[in-house]
Amino acid sequence: MKFRPSILLTIALFSLALIFARLGYWQTQRKAEKAELFEQFENAPSMSITEAVESGRQFAHVEGFGRFDAERHILVDNRMFQGRPGVYVLTPFIIEGGATVMVNRGWLPIPPDRRSLPAVPTSDELRVIRGRLKLLTTQGPRLGDADVLETDRWPQLVTYLDQAPLSQALGYSIPPWLVQLEADQADGFEGREWQAAVMEPATHGAYAVQWFALSLAAIIIWITLGVRSGQKAGQSGPNSGNKQQS
């Protein structure tokens, strides 16, 4: 059996195999990172909001005593819940004798045209809240210009969440953290099943398997086409020429 792959075929398929293998390796790295993140989420300590913010303990179970700002709310757009478009409702929580931190109170639906914003019923009575500490800033790639917040129009709809413009609109500095309100807490809305990240480690593992399988498929195709090319070359070789002359 002759094996005669073309140079162009070899370059193309081995390039694809290398790209697929690198993507598979990247997904295995992401799986390890997510596994560490989920472990951190599961084993997070419990402390006050002030202590967690000062020490930067992401995912910590936090508790604080204070009151909500009943008038000023940030609605973070493009949040899906059970297939429906909506917003996350973020409300400032003024800690008694301390700073102010944003609280994610959950999800509310919003009309597709965005011309009317949902009502955000809020009581400013003193209370204890419990939740999870999380970074405030929206992560990941962004499209379009940064959101511009006003000081005299509430609630306000934003696409991305950033500390600096939010502090400027509120009139005081807020820490780069927010509290995700626990599902059993009052004054919250739907969609409060918080987790460390949207995509779990097992999903990255499945993607890695797919990329490695594609890399192997590219090599198998290279071998198959190389064998076929060798067979064709053998059939049109010297023996076939002698048969034609006779």
Q: Can you spell out the DSSP letters for 202-242?
A: HHHHHHHHHHHHHHHHHHHHHHHHHHHHHHHHHHTSHHHHH
82 has pLDDT over 70? yes
The phi and psi torsions of 28 (rounded to 5 degrees) equal -65, -35
The C-alpha torsion from 17 through 22 and 25 to 27, rounded to 10°, is -100
| Mean pLDDT of the region 193-203 | 88
d(CA 86, CA 80): 6
Mean pLDDT, rounded, for 1-10: 76
**For residue 127, what pLDDT is reported?**
94
The 8-class DSSP code of residue 77 comes to E
Residue 240 scores a pLDDT above 80: no
Top pLDDT among 143 and 66 is at 66
**Mean pLDDT score of the chain, rounded to an integer?**
87
Q: Burial level of 186, CB count in 10 A (0-12/13-18/19+)?
A: exposed
Q: Over pLDDT 90: what percentage of the chain?
A: 51
Contact 5, 229 (CB under 8 A): yes
Contact 66, 93 (CB under 8 A): yes
Reported pTM: 0.77
Residue 31 and residue 38: Cα distance in Å, rounded?
A: 10
Residue 125's pLDDT is what? 93
Q: For position 226, what pLDDT does the model report?
A: 78
Lowest mean per-residue pLDDT among 64-78, 102-116, 141-155: 141-155
- pLDDT tens-digit series, residues 137-175: 776 566 666 677 888 888 988 888 888 888 889 988 899
Can you give the pLDDT at residue 244?
Answer: 47
What pLDDT score was predicted for residue 234? 63
Mean pLDDT in residue range 9-31: 93
Name the 3-class secondary structure at 185: coil
Q: pLDDT value at position 207?
A: 95
Per the DSSP assignment, residues forming a β-bridge with 1 are none
